[in-house]
Amino acid sequence: MRRCVDLDALRPAMVADVQVVTSDGKSIAAHSFVLATASPVLERMIDRARRGWNAECTIRILGVSSDGVFAFLHILYASRVAPEDEEVVSVYGPQLLALSHAYRVGWLKRAAEASMTARLTPEHAVDMLKLARLCDAPRLYLRCARLAAKDFAAVERSDGWRFARRHDAALELEILQLLEDADQRRERWARERASREAYRQLAEAMDSLVHIFSDDRGCTCADADTDATPCRGLRLLMRHYATCSARKAAPGGGCTRCKRMLQLFHLHASVCDRAAPDDDDHPCRVPLCR
């Protein structure tokens, strides 16, 4: 970005009445009404610094480079992040996020946060996590946490992680806690997916059981040229149940497959809302339904 120390060219109709001093001592001429309109914090700073009506005043914007301050002022003059300014936001994203948070410029803070979130890499995840916490940037914080959980091996190789381990125990503990929470969420989601799959299979088995005994002809799915139908496996299981010698030798017992089939019959009987077999209207033909 081209370096400049005077914003008069952007507002040629008025003379600059504020001098913005940066951390390295450079001075940038600006207009008080532009800064006061964009930021309530800058407005109070200008009011305190001004010694007389329309007198020239000096305010200090510290903590970032002079180029970062100029980029901040340049975007304040535009009152929006134009497409041609997106590269400036990407280059000075952390500085713009810090300045927009400190001086309460909400629209610029959101733009800087979105730009940094989209360009985040594992090498900067730890640094940006700390910045997001200090600047109250939840989207960036969540993105850093997810990136650390997804590719922690790359995060461990970063300078930010090594610095945190040596000098910032609180930040290290926070990141480890985020990783543990992510692992717990993945385990909970895996259990929920397994539970949903089990319920789906049980519902499919119930429908197949009713379908097999739906009429006197029985199920003809096994005659079809497919192995994917659920009726096929269920019919094989019932055939084993009918001929299992272990079940016949020990009524109520039997092998694991017989117990599974018996549990399926019990489950059907507990949810079946059809009439009993001695009712001639809509009898349920599934065995042991009574």
Enter the pTM of the model. Answer: 0.65
Q: What are phi and psi of 283, to 5 degrees?
A: -70, 145
Question: Which pLDDT value is given to residue 281?
Answer: 61
Question: Which pLDDT value is given to residue 202?
Answer: 84
Express each pLDDT in 177-229 by its tens digit: 988 988 898 899 999 999 999 888 888 888 888 877 775 555 656 554 445 46
* Low-confidence spans in the chain with pLDDT less than 70: 1-14, 51-56, 215-230, 247-254, 274-282
Question: Which pLDDT value is given to residue 237?
Answer: 80
Domains in the chain: ranges and CATH: 1-116 (3.30.710.10), 194-264 (no CATH)
Instruction: List CB contacts of 164: < 8 A, sequence separation 6 or more.
Output: 126, 171, 172, 175
Q: Which amino acid is at 79?
A: S
109: closest CA among 141, 72, 82? 72
In 68-77, which positions are buried (b, 16+ CB within 10 angstroms) versus exposed (e)? Answer: bbbbbbbbbe
Inter-CA distances, 37 with 31, 44, 202, 273, Å: 10, 11, 64, 70
Question: Which pLDDT value is given to residue 67?
Answer: 94
Question: Which pLDDT value is given to residue 10?
Answer: 52
Max intra-chain CA distance, the chain:
107
Question: Which pLDDT value is given to residue 272?
Answer: 81
